[in-house]
Amino acid sequence: MPRPREDELQIAGLRLQGIAEGGVETNLRVPELKLMFDIGMCPPRALKYGRVLASHGHADHLAGLHYYVSQRGMMKLPPPIIHVPAEIVEPLERIMAAWSEIEGFPLKCELRGASPGERVRISNELTAIPLRTHHRVPSLAWVIERTTRRLDPRYEGLPPSEIKRLREAGEAISLESTVPLLCVTGDTKIELFLEHELVRRCKVLVHECTSWDDQRGVASTREWGHTHVDEWIEHGERFEGEALVLVHRSLRHTRRDALRVVRDRFPAGLREKVFVFGT
């Protein structure tokens, strides 16, 4: 089987880059946020990213972990921070210890277990929120919130020295605004979308859609912990954001197949928001 080709989509001020083939490889990168979601088989462009938000431990999403860590070490880059479902930290530590033994040197990374209800500080502006998804193994979606701060209009025009004095005195001189910027779901049934208003409000929602016709029907797709296009046609109008990016398409379906389904079957009010990612 040839190596999957990378795709790129620029949408709502973000670039989505990477590979998303169901059961083969998933690695998604957002340069503007300096974040990577899942490692896949570690395509070359993944190596510069020092933080990974992993959805779950299936091989098509995480098989390149040891290579990713090893190559960054050889490049003398800092050990990466890898956020994974808390349930798989210990087995991943065993795997990394085994590869360190095989390679003859320590593979250095920071595995951080994540659980629903936590908040992960990424930067001064960005926070990552893990949500439990509906898959066959412990799995997480990741919501990225952006918080921006601007000077309260009441204090506009004051000299910098006065603003500094007010800030040092503990005066709240800034207004904060927090928006759900991005959600990347990993593998999941559509219940994640139906259960979480936060997911439905994200500016960009990158959600899996594995099955695109009756070769594998809704019931069978759900049995394997995935989402069928018929479920999106039924429920997708509840999406409130700007872009619904459907990924993880099974190899049973071509990109052309998927685009035709969006054009012919999606409700008119939804289809303009829908984008198919993956070559």
Domains of the chain, residue spans: 7-33+116-276
> Which pLDDT does position 134 carry in this prediction?
98
CATH superfamily of the domain spanning 7-33+116-276: Ribonuclease Z/Hydroxyacylglutathione hydrolase-like (3.60.15.10)
Question: Which amino acid belongs to residue 139?
Answer: S
For residues 33 and 122, give the distance between their C-alpha atoms in angstroms, rounded to a whole number: 9
Q: Where does the chain show beta strands of DSSP type E?
A: 7-11, 14-21, 25-30, 35-37, 51-53, 81-85, 110-114, 120-121, 126-132, 140-151, 174-184, 204-208, 243-247, 274-276
For residues 266 and 236, give the distance between their C-alpha atoms in angstroms, rounded to a whole number: 9
> Which pLDDT does position 186 carry in this prediction?
97
pTM above 0.75, yes or no: yes
> Which pLDDT does position 1 carry in this prediction?
64
How many CB atoms sit inside 10 A of residue 200's CB? 20
Tokens of 106: 């320590």
The rounded average pLDDT for each run of 10 residues, N- to C-terminus, in the chain (279 residues) is: 87 97 97 98 97 98 98 97 98 98 96 97 97 98 93 78 81 84 98 98 98 96 98 98 98 96 96 96
